[in-house]
Each structure stands twice: as C-alpha cells, then as structure tokens.
Chain A
Amino acid sequence: MSNIKRIAIVILVVAAVGVIAGSFSGSDVLDRAIILGMGVDAAEDGGVILTAEIVSPGNGSEQVGTFSKTVTAKGETINVAIQNVAELTSKEASLGQCVVLVLGEQYFKTVDFSDLTEYFINHHSFKESAVICCCEGNAMDLFNKADALTQSMSLAITTAILDESEKIAVSSNSLLEYARSQYELDRTGFLNYISFVSSENTDAQLPDKTLGYIGYRQLAVFRQNKYVCTLDEQLVKGMSLFEPQVTGETFVSFEDTVTRTVQVTNKNVKLKPDGKGGFEAELKVTVRYGRTDSEEVSGALTAKNDKEIPQKVLDDVSQQIRSVAERYLAAQAEYNFDLLDFHEAYRQKEGSSDALFNKPMSEFAVTLTVEVQEA
C-alpha cells in the first residue's frame, strides 16, 4: 500500500472518530442535579410549587454529614417547575434516581392531578416503581425538615413506606400501581398519607433543622386523581386485614387484670364473588404474642411461641378483627371507593361492561367469616 493511501486511511479514521465523538452528547453526572425526591404543593395562582431534594456531593471521598439539599421552584405545570429547578441549580434536573413523590395536603385535596401522574408515567427516566404518597401540611415544609435517623427525607419516607409500613401496617403504592388504579375500571386507588412527628433536635451537625420521624398509618383515597376521603388508622387496619402480604397488625386483649398483645403472623384471605352480585370474604388469621425485636418476622414459617394464647383471647381478637373489617367495608360502601378490587373480580369473570363500571359499592353485599388461631 502506498504511503498516500495509508495517510488517507488514517485521516479518514481520525475524521470519523472526530465526527462520531462530536455527534454524541452525554451529560457528566457532575453536571446533573440528581433529584432524590420531590414534593408538590399547590401555588396560589393555580400552578405548582416543586420542592426537590437534590444530591449534593460533600468534599472528598468521605461522606460526611448531610449529602442533599432542597431546592424549591414554582411553575405553571410540573414540567416548568422542574425546568426552573434546573435553572436554579444550573444543572440538568435528572429524575432517574428519584425514589419518592410527595403531594402536599392542599394540592392533593383541591387539584385534579391527572396531568401530574401522566407526566411522570410518560417520563422516560422517572421510575414507575418510585413511591408516590401524600402528606399532612406542605410537602415543602416536610422536605425542609430532617429525619432524625437517616437524614435524607426522601430516603426516610421510602424506608418508612416500603420497608416498614408495607410489612407491618399498610399497603403502599408505586407510581405505576397508583396510575393504573386511576385509569382502570372503577378508577379508585389510594396513596399513603404520611405525617411528620417532630422530636427534640440533638444533632450537632444540623442545628437549624427540625428533626423527627415519619408517621405512615393513614391512607388517602382518590378517584380519577381527585381526593375522596382519608382513612384513619382503624380503617387502614381494616383494609390491611384483606391484604395477604401485609402482616403484623396488633390487637390488644384485656382479660380481667391482664393485658395481652397479639400480633398477626400469617393470613389466608379469600375474597371471591358469591355469584349473586356480592362477595364472600373469609379471613383466616394466625396470631402469636407480640414481639418487638422482630415484628417483621412473620409468615408461615414463623416459630411457634412457647406460651399458649388462651381461647378467650383468641375469641376476643376474632371479634375485634370482625368489627375492624366491617367498619372498613362500611366506609367503602359509604364513600363508594373500591380498594379491594370488587369490580375487577367481576370483570375477570364476566368481562367489562358499563353496568359493572357504574355499580356502586353499596350494592356489593359482603358475607364475612373470621377465624383466628394460634401460630
């Protein structure tokens, strides 16, 4: 091969590499505002106020103290608000690591936020598995406080909802599950309703922050992204009784002078259409004495307790379960929401129809049987 040919090939290769290198545009992680969590509040003029918790690198490789900062921006829509966050931080707002989306009280109670869920569902980077919940008061205030133990508010909320509440108290919803519930059939769904419980600030590194913990035992119910009602702790307990994956509910039995706490370790829930337009609900609950060190330890393989629970206590617990469950079913009928998928069960059997879609919850009669036994 002649030298000219060789030189031509080298020039061609170098030019091709140059063109290709110049035609791809990536963003270095350092040029990104990596958002850990977001809070959305209603603005007075009809727009949204977005509070974003952004990863803020410390100095050097050691991770010392807090590693996030919050930025608040206003916008007519959520998209504009996110762009404003990018403008404020001079970095590209990146939602790929966002773990939680919190809706402020005023926002979720007064605004139809269909466009918000749609925006996040269609966002290429936002994870559909991220937790979506609503909070007492302003989301902005919540993000400007700090969790006493984990410090990052987004991580604290996620841990509270996914790791704690789902195992022992209430079910939770990812963005996808919630969005589906608002689009499908009866279009009702719920979000975890969290609150901030303040505690004394003893952290020398964060002298100005309000420290506290996340309370998570309530739910807010929505239909087509509009607020319906809030379920208090007792109603939530009633609902969780029908959720097989949630175990750990506790019941207190007073017998003469002795107070006993028992905990649900395993559940067998059967909820099936009875063929007459109603439902047969069968709750088989296994309980044991409550333990605090391993309250999550439950399920079919849980070790048997050495102390036997008196039959009287079991009967009492059975009564309590029935009353809590019935209260929940009554609330379901009263506010006409369907979190136990009554409509879906009939759709699977009979197919979709307008008659089914429009059937009110009060028309689904439920026959409830409760059976409690010791683990």
Chain B
Amino acid sequence: MDKNRVSIDQIALLYLLLIMGGKFLTLPSLLAGDVGHDSWVSVAFSFVWDAVCLCFLLWAIRINDKAHLDISAILDKSVSKPVSKLLLAIFFVVFVLRTNVLLSGCYKMFSVTFDVSTNWIVYVLPIAALAVFAIVKGFNAVARTSQLLFGLILIAVVALFVSPLSEAEFGALLPIGEAGWGNIIWTSYSRSFWFSDYIFVYFVLDGIKIKKHVFAPVLTSFAIGATLSIVLNAVFVALFGYLAPDFDMAMSKIGVFSAASTTNGRWDWLTLSIWLLSVFIKMIVFIFCAYKCIEKIFDKNFVKVNWIAVAFVLLTLALPMFVTTEQLLNTVIKWGIIPFTLVQYVLPLLMPLLTKTALRKTEVKNE
C-alpha cells in the first residue's frame, strides 16, 4: 500500500476540516477590526474566490486522473524547472507561515483560555512529535483520521454557534455593506492568507484515487465549510458587536452563553477542544506539505522518512520565538501577499492548462 494515497472523498473531508480548522482562532476579531459587522460579507467574498480556484484545481485533478503526475512534475514540464522551484519555495514559505500562525493562535488559546502556561519549545514539542508521527505513518493515516473525526468536529462546531443564537443580535449586522464594498473586498484580499486551504491538494496530486465524482464531494464539503465559517463570523459579530475586535479568541468566547445556567460550567470548552482537533489536523497537513515541498525542491523521492528534511521543517516552527505574530502579520504576510496570491489564486486557475501541457510532454517523451 502506498501510505500517501488518498481517495477523493478523503480529500473532501480533509478539506472541510481544514476550512473549519484555522478560521475561528484570531481571524474573526481581525476581520471585525477591519470591516466591523460586515466581516461575514468579507468572508463570503473570500470563499467566492476560493470556489472559483477550487473548481479549476478539481478540473486539473480530473485531467491528471490516469497519469498521476505530482506537482513538481507538472510544473517542471510546463513552466520550466527554475520557475517550478521558485513556486515550490513560495509554497514552502506559505505552509511554514500558516503553520506558525496557527501554532501561535493555538498557543494563545491554550495559555489564555485553558490556563496552560508553558514556553514555546515545550508547547511545540508534542505537536511537532505528532506531526512527525503522522509523516512516518503517511498521509493516508491523516486522511483516515479526518474521516473518523469529521462528524464529531462538525457537530462540535454547529453546537458552538447554535448555542449563542438566542443571545446574538442579528439586527446588528444591518445595514449590509456599511463598511463600504471596496473596503470589504480589499479586506477579503488582504486577509486571503487565511483562506485557500485547498493548497494542500497540490502535494497529494500523485496519490489521489478517483472513483466516479471529483467535483461533487469536494464542492459539497466546501459549501458546508464555507457556510459554517460565514455563519460563525456572523454570529460572532452579532454576539459581540462593537466589542468583537477585542475578542481575539473567537471560539473560546462564542459559546459562553451555551450553558443553560451560569453555574453549569463551561461545557462549551469541551466542544471547543473537539474543534481544536481540526486545528491540529490542519497543522499536521501543512507540516506534511512543507516536508513534501523540500522533497520536491531537491528533486528527491523520500521512500523512507528523511530526518534531515523533517528537522529542517521543525526548526522553522521556532519562528514565533523571534518574531511575534503581529510582526509576522504586519510585515512578512503583508508584503508577501503578492507571491502568496500567485500560488493561492493564480496557480489553481492555470493548473488545468499546466497539467495538460505536462501530460502532452510526458506522452511525447514516452512515445
């Protein structure tokens, strides 16, 4: 068995978990700070871009069905090797940065909400160990884990946003577009770093098993994930109103009204812990992809786990020890948004074309 093979159903569920995984940590408060009660509209716009790119990417998967070319093969053959390496390097940076932002969001969540105070290294160590374990066991194990947990996580997320519904003042979301449509669209672009979770698919392209449908399962997952994210953002702003930008741990606060009585304890935090599983899965997936990036950049095919590459990826997780998340967001990500857009939004649109070109060249070579 190839331990990195995944079915399209597994991709769909994994994608759903990835959509839900990172968006409810600090993003809702950042968006509320940018565009106030219109943050959910901004999220909706981001998902519209995502949907278009996703469709193109799925099309590329469909084209790649028989040949099972991997991302570096496609890029090498279609846009030349140097460009391919450059794109893979950008991917690597995106994955590392996204993992770090997730890690620091989680770190904050644990130290502030869950009262678990420790230093960065000791906090990262178990998560890194988990990611390495997952790399050793293969991507298929992670995909199966997502299949096992997605129902539970979905219920947890729904429970978290259903519970404060009675307290939320949805009237506060009106009038729609008060922050200005230009501002809203710009925000959805400037915060695009948190979106386009489908980028992990690039690194499992060669292992995707397609049965019948490609579009239906993934787009269904996407629709569910996008709807939940939009609704959750809307509930968050409706619940906290003008105070929303101050609540940087959206998920830990949103369920505060869930208990029927104030003496019932914060049961919502247990639900929150279940949701956190999806954040961890997301981190594992991104670390796996970063590891794969190294494999592709150096044109290697790691049959067994390459510990030097693993060590290098894990070293990058020490980044928040030197740069704060705010600095990261205000400098690297702010200026890096253009190259990131290239791999997040431009590359998927070109993928069908690139895949076809690569396939044609492969066929010619074979003949």
A–B contact, 8 Å CB criterion (strictly below): yes
Residues of A within 8 A of B (CB): 16, 19-20, 23-27, 96-97, 99, 121-122, 124-125, 127-131, 155, 158, 162-163, 174, 176-177, 179-180, 183-184, 344-345, 348-352
Does B171 count as interface, using CB distance less than 8 angstroms? yes
| Chain-A contact segment, one of B39-47, B57-65, B84-92, B117-125 | B117-125
- Chain A residues with CB under 8 Å of B117's CB are 24-25
Given A351-B175, A352-B178, 13 extra CB contacts under 8 A: A20-B126, A26-B115, A97-B263, A99-B262, A99-B263, A124-B112, A127-B262, A128-B256, A129-B257, A158-B261, A183-B242, A348-B172, A351-B178
Nearest-CB residue, chain B, relative to A23:
B122
Q: Does B220 contact A (CB under 8 A)?
A: no
A19 to B117, CA, bound (A): 14
User: Whose C-beta in chain A lies nearest to the C-beta of B122?
Assistant: A23
User: Is the beta-carbon distance between A121 and B243 smaller than 8 angstroms?
Assistant: yes
Report the bound CA distance from A162 to B241 in whole Å.
Answer: 23
Question: Are A344 and B242 within 8 A (Cβ)?
Answer: no
B116 lies within 8 A of chain A by Cβ? yes
- Can you list 5 A-B contacts with CB-CB less than 8 angstroms, sorted by A residue number? A20-B126, A24-B122, A158-B261, A344-B171, A348-B175
- In the bound complex, what is the Cα–Cα distance between A174 and B169 (angstroms)? 14
Q: Does B266 interact with chain A (Cβ within 8 Å)?
A: yes
B174 to chain A, nearest CB (A): 4
Residues of chain B at the chain A interface (Cβ within 8 Å): 112-113, 115-119, 122, 125-126, 167, 171-172, 174-175, 178, 239-243, 246, 253, 256-257, 259, 261-263, 265-266
Contact of B246 among A16, A25, A122, A344 (CB under 8 A): A122
- Residue of B with least CB distance to A348: B174
Q: Does B113 contact A124, Cβ atoms closer than 8 Å?
A: yes
Query: Which residue on chain B has the smallest CB distance to residue A21?
Result: B122
Contact at B266–A96, with CB atoms within 8 Å?
yes
CB <8 Å contact, B256 and A23: no
Q: Are B262 and A25 in contact (CB under 8 A)?
A: no
CB distance from B93 to the nearest CB of A (A): 30
Chain A contacts of B242 at CB under 8 A?
A: 180, 183-184
Q: Is the CB of A158 within 8 A of B119?
A: no
Judge whether B116 and A176 touch: CB under 8 Å: no
Inter-subunit contact A25/B118 (CB<8 Å):
yes
Give the chain A neighbours of B172 by CB distance below 8 A.
Answer: 344, 348
Q: In the complex, what residue of chain A is closest to B263 when comparing beta carbons?
A: A99
Report the separation of the CA atoms of residues A27 and B122 in the bound assembly, to the nearest whole angstrom.
18
Instruction: Determine the chain A residues whose CB is within 8 A of the CB of B112 once the complex forms.
Output: 124
A185: nearest chain-B partner, CB-CB: B242
Distance of A19 Cα from B116 Cα, bound (Å)? 15
A24, B126: Cβ atoms closer than 8 Å: no
**B262–A20 touching, CB < 8 Å:** no
Which of A20, A128, A130 lies in contact with B122, CB distance below 8 A?
Answer: A20
- Nearest A residue (CB) for B249: A124
Is the CB–CB distance between A24 and B118 below 8 Å? yes
* CB <8 Å contact, B240 and A176: yes
Residues on A with C-beta less than 8 A from B246 are 121-122
For B259, list chain A residues within 8 Å (CB). Answer: 129
Chain B, Cβ-Cβ closest to A19: B122
Is there an interface contact between A180 and B262, defined as CB atoms closer than 8 Å? no
B262 touches A131 (CB 8 A): yes
Q: Chain A contacts of B243 at CB under 8 A?
A: 121, 176, 179-180, 183
Q: Tell me whether B115 and A27 are in contact (CB under 8 A).
A: yes
Q: Once the chains are docked, how many angstroms separate the CA of A16 from the CA of B118? A: 15
Query: Which residue on chain B has the smallest CB distance to residue A100?
Result: B262
Give the docked Cα–Cα distance between A116 and B301 (Å): 60
Q: With A128-B256, A351-B178 in contact, is A23–B119 under 8 Å at CB? A: yes
Residues of B within 8 A of A19 (CB): 122
Cβ distance A66 to chain B, nearest Cβ, rounded Å? 16
Instruction: Tell me the complex Cα distance, A97–B119, Å.
Output: 27
Cβ contact of A130, chosen from B167, B239, B262, cutoff 8 A: B262
Chain B residues near A351 (CB-CB < 8 A): 175, 178
Which among B112, B115, B239 has the highest number of chain A CB atoms within 10 Å?
B115
Contacts of A352 in B (CB 8 A): 178
Say yes or no: A127 contacts B118, CB within 8 Å.
no
Contact status A162-B262, CB under 8 Å:
yes
Contact residue among B116, B119, B178 (Cβ-Cβ distance under 8 Å from A26): B116
Give every chain B residue within 8 A of A162 (Cβ-Cβ): 261-262
Of B116, B261, B263, the residue contacting A24 (CB under 8 A) is: B116
Residues of B within 8 A of A97 (CB): 263, 265
**B119, B167, B256: the one within 8 Å of A127 (CB):** B256
CA distance A16 to B128 in the complex (A): 14
Q: A96-B266, A99-B263 are in contact. Are A184 and B116 (CB under 8 A)?
A: no
Nearest-Cβ distance from residue B116 to partner chain A, whole angstroms: 6
Rounded to whole Å, the gap between the CB of A163 and the closest CB of chain B is: 8
Top 5 A-B residue pairs of the complex, sorted by shortest distance between their CB atoms: A23-B122, A348-B174, A99-B262, A124-B112, A183-B242
Q: How far is the CA of A23 from the CA of B101 in the complex (A)?
A: 22
A23–B119 Cα distance when bound, in Å, is 7
Residues of A contacting B113 in the complex (Cβ-Cβ under 8 angstroms): 124
**Residues in chain A near residue B239, CB distance under 8 A:** 176
A96 to B264, CA, bound (A): 12
Contact B263 A158, beta carbon cutoff 8 Å: yes
Q: Taking CB as reference atom, which chain A residue is nearest B111?
A: A124
What residue of chain B has the Cβ atom nearest to residue A152's Cβ? B263
State in angstroms the CA–CA spacing of A19 and B242 once bound together: 43
Pick the residue among B119, B253, B263, B265 that contacts A155 (CB under 8 A). B263
